[in-house]
């Protein structure tokens, strides 16, 4: 059975999310710093995120800012 796991490589600031332990047969660049890894059937087996610390920080900040914009509306209702 395949087991999902995550590895962070601090030296290169790379986050690797493995969905499967199958060998990688190809990849697709989803955005400049995000690559989807695919098996022989073209199924997703992993995701690699370059500049991971900035990506995670920015993603969290966007989510928090969106929640904060909703917060006053929820309080006044």
* pLDDT tens readout for residues 8-54: 999 999 999 999 999 999 999 999 999 999 999 999 999 999 999 99
Residue with tokens 């992993």: 46
Element (H, E) at 17: strand 14-18
* Extents of the domains making up the chain: 5-76
State how far the Cα of 21 lies from the Cα of 4, in Å rounded to an integer.
Answer: 8
State how far the Cα of 41 lies from the Cα of 73, in Å rounded to an integer.
Answer: 47
Give this prediction's pTM.
Answer: 0.75
């Amino acid at each position: 059975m395949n087991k999902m796991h995550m590895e962070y490589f601090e030296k290169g600031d790379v986050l690797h999310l493995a969905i499967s332990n199958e060998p990688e047969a190809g990849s697709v660049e989803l955005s400049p710093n995000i690559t989807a890894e695919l098996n022989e059937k073209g199924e997703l087996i992993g995701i690699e995120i370059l500049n991971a610390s900035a990506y995670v920080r920015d993603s969290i900040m966007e989510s928090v800012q969106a929640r904060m914009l909703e917060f006053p509306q929820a309080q006044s209702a």
